[in-house]
Chain A
């Protein structure tokens, strides 16, 4: 089976000896397996990265994805995890060196997929914070589906574009941060301004509420904590409060 396996992802390699029809080689027959494997993996990549496939265009995406598949064939039957290192692959892929924003789209789509399959876990209720004694000293446990991504590119716009580049109205010079969450069963992506990003990044980093507010004020002295805290509740970014000196129940890693 070794020769059979090797020839599947290597079009230059001949079909293995002794495999064919009535003892004779049959390249077109072997090609059905080759085609099934490559088409199946390409389909998995397209399902994982629909925004990238749209922005790059189907043919261009398939070409790059084929190179990725050859370099990184799956190592698990859990196809939902397939293609994880695609962002890093795109970053080091020379023909796309002039499109560095593609890797960030891949990161956002991977975070979206991870959120989609994340463990079912309740989000933090506003009442928990309201009834806390010293809220400013508390830190927050990120929800298992939540992911904050900062980009030098307009990541929110690119994630939602779903059309082939160049996309009208998208300014590549604009930096955007996004928050990907799944408060119930549906994933959501939220665009964050600079102060909200600083605030949430500090909380994701397990800083206290007070420190997070200070960070946000440094980013923008017009920062309004109430609005940012409401945003954190509405998106389901966190699942519990952490008191500095006590242990809380954590979702499984």
Chain B
């Protein structure tokens, strides 16, 4: 039995692409949909946008699509892929790309994004975002893969910086330089995950502030925020885990302010994928991001350029 591709089955969509506003958004969870839509006397919760994992909407029909349609009718949407294996050493899976395209075409999201990571090797899908060495060779591969995805869906995507637990001896590039080169050569944008920056900087013992200051923020069009867990590595060094299972830490909020001070307000997503709390907890996290965004109304660098 082969998987059914949804494009043939869903009725044509009436959605037109709506850009994400520079406000706080939340990763959509099925269990929150009714609360979200019922909030404010049925007008819906006051949230800037919602983001979904494309893979959760690759089925033919049923409840997932019904829920997403009802959300999409009221809110701008971001479609975030977690299974394209952009950083993989092998060609993009054409079947997966076709399913991804069908989701994008149907829901007409304001933003489409994927990860600097791999998840497929040979014929096995590992269902995780795995790290890659930063070399000329992997750079070329990533650029080709991003290009292929962008050509297939006919629009620009954003690539997200990873959280990593190991480094590769063969890496020849800094991560922020690698990201910049990917964006420049592939013509894609970047999704800046502030929690990932904090995790990787802690795990690999560099300054997250210096990373942010050096990052090619001119390519960044969306921000991710999430909570992380703490552990220790083999030598007792701190090892942070990208758990998405708790509130955003105060260190990450501080780095978020630092980022916004350079970029100005950008669509900013709260991700909470494990031990998912009741809707009001997520709404409160989004409100915190919203307050910080509200104090950054002017895009400093743009303002300078205009002056």
Please give the residue numbers on chain A whose beta carbons come within 8 Å of chain B beta carbons, in ascending order: 1-2, 4-5, 8-9, 15, 18-23, 26-30, 32-33, 36-37, 40-41, 44, 73-82, 84, 115-121, 144, 182, 185-186, 252-253
Q: Which of B61-69, B213-221, B281-289 contacts A (4 or more CB under 8 A)?
A: B61-69
- Select one of A36, A41, A77, A119 contacting B4, CB under 8 A: A119
| CB contact between A182 and one of B62, B96, B167 (< 8 Å): that residue | B62
- The size of the chain B interface, using a CB distance under 8 A, is 57
Q: Which residue of A lies closest to B99 (CB)?
A: A78
B28 surroundings in chain A (CB, below 8 A): none
Decide if A19 touches B62 in the complex (CB within 8 Å).
Answer: no
Point out the residues of chain B lying under 8 angstroms from A121, CB to CB. 61
Tell yes or no: B290 within 8 A of A by CB: no
Flag if A74 contacts B60 (CB, 8 Å): no
CA distance A120 to B9 in the complex (A): 8
Question: Which chain B residues border A1 with CB–CB below 8 Å?
Answer: 88-89, 118, 121, 130, 132
Contact of A77 with B55 in the complex, beta carbons under 8 Å: yes
| CA gap between A33 and B124 in the complex, in Å | 15
Mark contacts of B224-258 with chain A using CB atoms, 8 A cut-off: 1 yes-contact digit, 0 otherwise: 00000001111101010100000000000000000
Question: Which residues from B are CB-within-8-Å of A115?
Answer: 62
Of B119, B166, B232, the most chain A CB neighbours within 10 A belong to: B166
B173 lies within 8 A of chain A by Cβ: no
Task: Give the Cβ gap from B103 to chain A, nearest Cβ, in Å.
Answer: 11
7 contacts between A and B (CB under 8 A): A1-B132, A4-B121, A21-B235, A29-B233, A77-B84, A79-B127, A119-B61
Residue contact B128 to A40, C-beta cutoff 8 Å: yes
Q: Which of A5, A84, A120 contacts B126 (CB 8 A)?
A: A5
Contact B3 A120 (CB under 8 A): no
Apart from A22-B167, A117-B60, A120-B61, list 14 A-B contacts with CB within 8 A: A19-B166, A20-B169, A21-B166, A29-B165, A33-B131, A74-B127, A75-B125, A77-B82, A78-B55, A78-B59, A80-B56, A82-B127, A119-B9, A120-B65
Minimum distance in angstroms from B117 CB to a CB of chain A: 11
Shortest Cβ distance from residue B129 to the other chain A in the assembled complex, whole angstroms: 8
The interface residues of chain A lying within 8 Å CB-to-CB of B65 are 120
Contact A75 B63, beta carbon cutoff 8 Å: no
